[in-house]
Amino acid sequence: MSNMNSRLNNGGLIDRSQQISFTFNNKAYFGVPGDTLASALLANGVDLIGRSFKLHRPRGIMAAGVEECNAYLQVGSGDRHTTNVNATQIEIYEGLTAKSVHCWPSVEHDIGALVGAFSRLLPSGFYYKTFMWPAKFWHLYEHAIRSSAGLGKAPETEDIDTYEYRYDHFDLVIVGSGPAGLMAARQAAPSGANILLVEQDFRFGGSLLADTAMINNQPAADWAKHTLDELKGFKNVTLLPRTTLTGYYDGNFLTALERVTDHLPVNVRRSGIARERLWKIRAGKVILATGSIERPLVFGNNDRPGVMLASGARTYLNRYGVQPGQKAVIFTNNDTAYEVATELQQKGVTVEALIDIRQNPPQAMSKLASSHNIKVLTGCAVHNVLGKKKVKGVEVASLTAQNTLGSDNLRINCDLVVQSSGWTPTVHLFSQAGGKLLFDEEQLCLRPDPTTISQQLLSVGSCNGNFSLTDALREGAQAAHQALLDCSFESTESSWPKASESLPCTPQALWRVPGRKQNIKRFVDLHNDVSSSDIELANREGYRSVEHLKRYTATGMGPDQGRTSNINALAILAEEQNRSIPSVGTTRFRPPYTPISFGAVAGRRVGELFQVRRKSSLYEAHEEAGAVFEPAGLWMRPDYYPAAGETREQAVLRECRGVRESVGIFDASSLGKLDIQGPDALKLLNMLYANGWNTLKSGACRYGVMLKEDGFIFDDGVTACLGENHYHMTTTTGNAETVYSWIEEWLQCEWLDWDVYVTPVTTQWAAISIAGPKARDLLNKVGTDIDLSTEAFPHMQFREGTVADIPARVFRISFTGEHSYEINVPSSYAPALWQALMKAGENLGITPFGLEAIHRLRAEKGYIAVGLETDGTVTPYDLGMSWAVGKKKADFLGKRSLSLPDLSRTGRRQLVGLLTDTPEYVIPEGAQIRLESTTQPRSQGHVTSSYMSSTLNRSMALAMLENGLERHGEKVTLHIDGKTVAAQVTKPLFYDEDGGLLNA
Amino acid sequence: MLDNVTKVIHAPRIGAITAKLLQQSSSLKCIKLADKSFRGKFILWGNPEDKDFSDAVYAATGLKLPRQSGEVTDAGPYRAIWANPKRWYLICEQENETALSEALAASGQVHMSVTDGQCCFHLQGNHAVDLLKKGCSLNFSEAHFAPDQCLQTRLAITKAFLHRRSTNSFDIYVERSYSEYIWGWLLDAAKEFNN
């Protein structure tokens, strides 16, 4: 346990009356409500937070907000383990556990830090250059590199939390609740528009929470609270804290990540509440009030724990009541740090000196400093920070007119270095929205160019490059007024409160403080361990484009996304190339602004809800029969029904025998079904199918193949004529939606005047197929009012009647080669029909059979399966199905393509049967048939379907073979896993060649 | 049922939602979810510009068919939902299904039963909109989606018709083979409102 030895006795937006216990690196600490993990650690005097990514250098807390680039920690453990969480953004809660990353065995004593000793040998590109050769050793290198690289540890157990989406629509979305955002919301609220105010912090107010300025004669934080209380009174305003707007897409579509439960003790997180909610928002108008981020300076050992941004120091002091150090040195190139220096001094931190690189800072600044007894050194720079795991002091030297170091050297002891190099507008969302940026020569930053944005957005306040408090309030109010008018809402004239005057920033550029020694690192991107020498090296090696620089050095990558480093890196690259910063350009900001968990992206689509499993109404009947299911498209279909102790193969062979010898029962419900009606129905069928339909009489069925415009088969099935201008079309299971869309496309785009109505009825009708020599007996036994005699109801006919007293459509069609009926009943009656058939079939040896059995049975008959025998490059002629092409038809989809020379040339692969010389050997599907006759052997065909057949008592296969139709009887060889297999080419028909069984 | 079959069927009829899932939904507190799948549902096709068609439908059912996306009309026990410029869903309670089937047959217009192919769930409760917003990107503001409108949309990852009966109650029509998924999804998403 530790005392909160850096906590001030009063001040700040925290509640000192309560304590919250938490652990960091297994050591117990206390914080208070209102603390972030970072502020609580600082309050407890914890300086060393982690180790750096590549060089394992000791790192502390540098900032107080989203821009923090060192304090990425692992929070929680086991099934609630989150890695790379920014300590400045986590509210502490009772029982929080956090650990440092990139260190072993501890953050204090890290073996990996030895790497740092060789840092000169590890410049950017080191891994690329070093581990290229010899290539065969890569697997040795890989293990070592992977174990030392990466950001944090991935969780090893399943995440226990749930995640979800939230879709919503708002007239106005305001991003950020600092002065500009709050003011915009307050101006817009009375209009009645549907408004969303998004704030990434757990507290609304943004920079106002740490600002000592006055608004309307009250402290800024009080004004923020007062304004927020007013907003809570408006029902049309949704206030969303703990939410980061992460992405801005076309059409004012936004994504925002709400951290719903991360701030709650684990034991009070209610089940059913998602941990994170990913908002997907359509916004009429967006006001970006995302603020700005302070830039660090680039100087020697600027990464030591205790080197902090001025804005960070100010926030810890004023918002969290924490002294970030005892003795501070301020290092700046602008005015705003003076104010922070005075606040530090006032609250008990001794400011040893203020180092300003400017020779002549404004007089007002000098006066401000002297009035607080702060010693100012102008025209000087901190060129080195002393100390390793904690700042011990700085070395200061004067700057010459050429920005080189003078020969003097002043050492100042301190434990805190507060730095400021000006402000960078947070333009990420503006950039994501498609806007371009301008370089502001005065403020040395990139700011939005509003003329380049086509989306409905307005940037206001410091994210727009206007840094004064009054500007922020004014722009917020004016933008809200404009946004409301644009959205046709009434708006009162914009007004804003009076604010105390802000200090101007006016930074002077010094992108790199010169170093005295080469081995002293000057970091640009602390998150990725990129120093100024890495950027210089990259430029020397030819990575002159900013995009190449980024990828070669990793500057601006990772969770931090270069929030503090981008401008400095650009500027150094520009200096190296003697170019201006605008001419070097900038990388494009991409979503997400801050990291999003995979859980939030997946939302509710995990586990059972990952994907729809379509089930026929017979699913439970199959479960009761012990079916093993197989996904077929989205459908879950029985693959086979094993009896006790049976293997899959044994079950399938038994099922096949059951069909061939008595009767089998099969659930065909998932086959696509389309109801086609209207005077032009026949015309439609004739266009969709390659074969002719004019002669199909009412009550008859016909098989047809559908071609795409390219002449290749894309689906097949049986269509029945139910009556005049009324047809029932079936498609394959997997193509049901595709065929329907295909038909609709033609009807909606090409044949608009056709009077025909197509309705998908796949799930309206359950289909039970009974197949086998005893199928007719079964149907008679279960009871039907349909005359089943061959004369009255021959093969390929359809009848309507009742089966087991259930109204039914019965199709005498077969996919097994057996005498067969497909009984269609409304889905909710199918379980009753299945049960009745099973009962009636008990004495007939009825056998439920699944997908695998039906595939073997149809292959014995040489019936094609779309997707096996066809692959999008197969014509009906290739399959020996010229009978399925209406040669005399005037037109059908794909007709023209069938006459292309390539589709009728010799040498095309054509459907054949294959019987191996070894009857018990089953060829793997996909095996290639090798052509031996040339000097360069090549494939001349491939196996499409291959099974052990219980009917033939041997294996059999279907294959696509060059000129196969003319090669029946030939011997071919297949090369499979280094072995040669000989087989005879046959016609693709192994059972009931004359169709006698079908027609019986 | 078949398009025009009026014979009484004695065989048991099985709903799309399993007993287990129905049981789970009975424990919901702030949300009510009920299976109304045996409601009669028909698809009607025709050209609304054709007066003969409109008159025939009106004479048979009393319905004036809606002409705009989202529109719903009612006449006695029957309801018509706009599905596309030439297509409507006709809905009735289970006990009126035979009568509606006969009326449609008598009208001589293109129609078919989808009672067994489409399920209907009724969702009700103060959090109904919050629940739907977890999986549906429609704008639920009543200015955009008013009570008694019915919109075709995507719920979770499936197609659905949402008929807003009032501010906080909806009829949800989904295809039968997707219904178990949607029911399970709604139960899961409703857990938040169950404490």
pLDDT in tens, A604-636: 999 999 999 999 999 999 999 999 999 999 999
**DSSP 8-state code for residue B47:** -
Q: Please count the residue pairs, one from chain A and one from chain B, whose beta carbons lie less than 8 angstroms apart.
A: 147
B37, B192, B194, B195, best to mutate vs chain A, most A CBs in 10 Å: B192
Digit-coded pLDDT (tens) for A79-113: 888 988 999 999 999 999 999 987 777 888 887 77
Q: Which of A827, A679, A701 is nearest to A764 (CA)?
A: A827
Strand pairing partners for A329?
A353, A417
Q: State the smallest CA–CA distance between residue B65 and chain A in angstroms.
A: 17
| Mean pLDDT computed over A258-275 | 92
Residues near B79 by beta carbon (within 8 Å), at least 6 away in sequence: B63, B72, B73, B90, B91, B92
Per-residue pLDDT band for A924 (boundaries 50, 70, 90) equals very high
Q: Which residues pair with A238 in a beta bridge?
A: A196
Please judge whether B134 and A762 are an interchain contact, meaning their C-beta atoms are less than 8 angstroms apart: no
Phi/psi region, residue A405 (left: phi>0; alpha: psi -120 to 50; beta: rest), is beta
For residue A190, is the peptide bond before it cis, meaning its omega torsion is within 30 degrees of 0? no
Give me the DSSP letters along A295-325.
PPP--BTTTSTTEEEHHHHHHHHHTS-B-S-
Report the pLDDT value the prediction gives residue A121, as an integer from 0 to 100. 67
Best residue in A254, A676, A764, A806 to probe B by mutation, most B CBs within 10 Å?
A: A764
Alpha-carbon distances of B34 from A530, A619, B40, B41, B187, rounded to whole Å: 60, 22, 16, 17, 11
Residue of B nearest to A808 (CA): B2
State the residue for tokens 């969709």.
A688
ipTM confidence score = 0.95
**CA–CA dist B32, B69 (Å, integer):** 27
CB contact under 8 A, B116 and A615: no
Q: Over the stretch A542-556, which tens digit does the pLDDT of each residue have? A: 999 999 999 999 999
Give the angle A265-A268-A273 at the CA atoms, nearest 5°: 105
Output the six-digit token pair for A662.
């008595």
List, as one string, the DSSP characters of A747-784. HHHT-TT---EEEE-TTTEEEEEEESTTHHHHHHHH-B
Report whether B101 contacts A748 (CB < 8 A).
no
Q: What is the pTM of this model?
A: 0.93
Euclidean distance between CA atoms B160 and A409, whole angstroms: 75
pLDDT above 90 covers a percentage of chain A that reads 87
Please give the residue of chain A at the shortest CA–CA distance from B1.
A826
Q: What is the mean pLDDT of chain A?
A: 94
Confidence band, pLDDT 50/70/90 cuts, at residue B4 = very low
pLDDT at position B6, please?
A: 46
Stretch A40-45: mean pLDDT? 97
Please answer whether residues A419 and A398 qualify as being in contact, where contact means their C-beta atoms are separated by less than 8 angstroms.
Answer: no
Examine the pLDDT at A389 and tell me if it is beyond 50: yes
Is the model's pLDDT at B20 over the cut of 90?
no
Rounded to whole angstroms, the Cα distance separating A957 from A966 reads 17
Contacts of A832 in chain B (CB under 8 A): 11-14
Whole-number Å distance between alpha carbons of A790 and A797: 10
β-sheet with B87-92: strand ranges across: B72-75, B78-84, B87-92, B40-45, B111-113
Of A167, A273, A614, the CB nearest to B133: A167
Q: Which of A177-186, A560-569, A916-925 has the lowest mean pLDDT?
A: A560-569
Pairing relation of β-strands A163-175 and A276-288? parallel
| B136/chain A closest Cα distance in angstroms | 6
Question: Could you give the C-alpha distances from A626 to A277, A617, A641, A648, A853, in angstroms and in order?
Answer: 40, 16, 6, 12, 15
Which chain A residue has the Cα nearest residue B144? Answer: A169
Neighbours of A994 (CB within 10 A): 7
Q: Are A618 and A766 in contact (CB under 8 A)?
A: yes
Residue-wise pLDDT tens digits, A872-903: 999 999 999 999 999 999 999 999 999 999 99
* DSSP state letter for A492: P
Alpha helices in A812-921 (DSSP H): 830-840, 851-860, 895-898, 901-904
Are A624 and A646 in contact by the 8 Å Cβ rule? The answer is no
Cα–Cα distance, A30 to A40 (Å, whole number): 7
Residues in a beta bridge with A85: A73
SS3 state at A196: strand
Taking CB atoms within 8 Å and a gap of at least 24, the contacts of A622-626 are A622/A667, A622/A848, A625/A848
Please determine, for residue B7, whether its predicted confidence score (pLDDT) is greater than 60. no
Of residues B9, B12, B16, nearest to A807 (C-beta):
B9
CB–CB of A874/A705 below 8 Å?
A: no
Task: Report the amino acid identity of residue A781.
Answer: K
Mutation site for B-interface testing, chosen from A264, A612, A784 by largest number of B Cβ within 10 Å: A612
Q: In what order do the strands lie in the sheet with A350-356?
A: A307-309, A416-420, A327-332, A350-356, A376-378
Q: What is the mean pLDDT of residues A750-772?
A: 97
Give yes or no for a contact between A968 and A985, defined as CB atoms under 8 angstroms apart: yes
**Model pLDDT for residues A146-188, shown as the tens digit of each residue:** 766 667 788 889 999 999 999 999 999 999 999 999 999 999 9
Whether A285 and A317 have beta carbons less than 8 Å apart is answered as no
Closest CA in chain B for residue A279: B134
Closest alpha carbon within chain B to A764: B117
Percentage of chain A modeled with pLDDT above 70: 98
Residue A702 pLDDT exceeds 80: yes
- Give per-residue pLDDT as tens, A838-860: 999 999 999 999 999 999 999 99
- Find chain B residues with C-beta within 8 A of A605's C-beta: 157
CB of A812 closer than 8 Å to CB of A867: no
Q: What is the mean pLDDT of chain B?
A: 93
**Mutation site, B21, B110, B191, interface A, largest A CB count within 10 A:** B110
Whether residue A155 has a cis bond before it, omega within 30° of 0: no
Cα separation of A47 and A392, whole Å?
12
Residue A106: the pLDDT is 82
CB B177 within 8 A of CB B168: no
Residue A144 has pLDDT above 90, yes or no: no
Which chain B residues contact residue A753 at CB under 8 A? none
What tokens were used for A371?
């009035």
- Average pLDDT for B168-184: 96
